[in-house]
Amino acid sequence: MSWVLAASAAVVLALQQPTPSAPSAKPWPILSLSVLGNQNYSREQILAVAGLKLGQLATPRDFEAARDRLAATGAFESIEFRFAPAEGGKGYAVSFHLVEAGPFFPVRFEELGLPDQEIRAYLRELDPLFGDKIAPSQALLDRYARAIEQLLESRGRRQAVMGRLMAEADEAPAVVFRPAALPLPVAEVRFANNHVIPAVTLQRAIHGVAIGVRYNERRFRQLLEASVRPLYEACGHVRVSFPEVRTEPAGDVKGLVVIVTVEEGPVYQLGEVRFEGGPLETAELARTAELKSGAPFDAARVQAALERIEKRLRRDGYMRARVAAERRIDDAARKVDLAVRVEPGPQYIFGKLIIEGLDLIAEAAIRRMWTLKPGQPFRADYPDYFLERIREEGVLENLKQARAEL
């Protein structure tokens, strides 16, 4: 390997120096210490693992031992070290040339029963190379998994841990450390400290998506945000939180009872509603939205208001209109201001009407009923309204199937 050749050449060079000031096999101080090729690990991290520092008395065997310590981490694809007499011949100039084992991915801990920060601090203490991102080499994964097992055992828990690179559909790939055994499914969800909304209502919202699913706290919290939070935001509790989620074995089935502590928070009022962008006047947007400042904030009503504005814009030919609301929460005043942004997109106009499947007489009757003129803004809801009108007036007998295509 390249580092062997480089090391051997440097030793020959040192032994061929006859002057008394040249480094030899006896210990000499390290006067120069450099690290090359590192991208994710810092020089300080690498030298901490290597166990070398400036001024240290060392021999070539110490450099070999430093190389072996770095190789044992599994964090590098190749390691080459070089040493030679430093300028002045009073010690060693040492350099390490490295290729890191990449690529690097974020680290996540799941279902280990300890705070993430505690696990991270423990691993950093054991291994200076551990960081927020690591390379998923098997040697690293196994070593960190064993270290986490030792940490858990010191807390009175014997738990096999595994680490692997995972990529879920909606997230970027990450290195995940979690119990090696498959988690048990959720058998029941209970709520504690809830007062505003009955527990049975909360359970009805979460049970449909959580029962039977293998438990994972991070994903379970996502279900809480998607299923339970909207219930609270519909009655003004925009700061609702779930500070604790814990589990216990179910008594009658093989599964887990998940107990969620709810911090409901105070009721917030709807504050100022400001409209930005779009072709409609602010007054018309406000009438369409039907949002009243001073009323309890209701996220469901806000969403319905945005949909009404989009529908109103489509009536004027803005087929791709998008309306979104940005919340600005004032905790001191306990109110939520809204900035409603309207992006109308291009305006579409009506081109021509094509009728298929009718004879000339029936087609003529249908065309007389069609009131939208070429060049007018296209009303997105007009085709469906028109077909419903035909059915109601019985213009075409035995009309079974009809559809509008744009």
Residues 24 and 82 placed together within one structural domain of the fold: yes
- pLDDT at position 167 is 79
Structure tokens that stand for 148 in this block = 């986490």
Residue range of the domain that includes 118: 105-179
Residues 18 and 96 placed together within one structural domain of the fold: yes
Residues 150 and 68 placed together within one structural domain of the fold: no
Residues 222 and 207 placed together within one structural domain of the fold: yes
- pLDDT at position 19 is 36
Number of domain units in the chain: 5
Cα separation values, 107 from 104, 119, 164, 222, 379, Å: 9, 11, 10, 19, 51
Collapse the DSSP code of 217 into the 3-class scheme (helix H, G, I; strand E, B; otherwise coil) and give the result. Answer: helix
CA–CA separation, 175 and 135 (whole Å) = 8
CATH of the domain at 18: 3.10.20.310
Residues 322 and 361 placed together within one structural domain of the fold: no
CA–CA separation, 380 and 383 (whole Å) = 7
- pLDDT at position 398 is 60
CA–CA separation, 254 and 50 (whole Å) = 49
Residues 79 and 146 placed together within one structural domain of the fold: no
Residues 250 and 285 placed together within one structural domain of the fold: no
Residues 157 and 215 placed together within one structural domain of the fold: no
Cα dihedral sign for 308, 313, 314, 315? positive
Give the containing element (helix H, strand E) for 248: strand 241-249
Residues 74 and 133 placed together within one structural domain of the fold: no
CA–CA separation, 23 and 11 (whole Å) = 10
* Nearest partner of 277 among 237, 316, 309, 246, judged by Cα: 309
- pLDDT at position 404 is 62
pTM as predicted: 0.64
How far the first Cα of the chain sits from its last, in Å, is 68
Domain boundary among the residues 78, 100, 122 is at 100
Residues 75 and 8 placed together within one structural domain of the fold: yes
The 3-state DSSP composition of the chain as helix, strand, coil percent (nearest 5) reads: 35, 25, 40
Domain boundary among the residues 343, 367, 397 is at 343
Domain boundary among the residues 179, 208, 227 is at 179
Residues 253 and 166 placed together within one structural domain of the fold: no
Cα separation values, 355 from 52, 362, 377, Å: 85, 10, 20
Q: What is the mean pLDDT of each run of 10 residues along the chain (406 residues)?
A: 32 32 69 92 92 92 93 89 87 93 90 90 92 88 94 92 83 89 92 97 96 91 96 96 94 93 97 94 95 95 96 94 96 97 94 86 87 90 86 70 63
Residues 255 and 293 placed together within one structural domain of the fold: no
CA within 13 Å, CB half, 47: 15
CA angle 332, 338, 343 (to 5 degrees): 155
CA–CA separation, 175 and 140 (whole Å) = 11
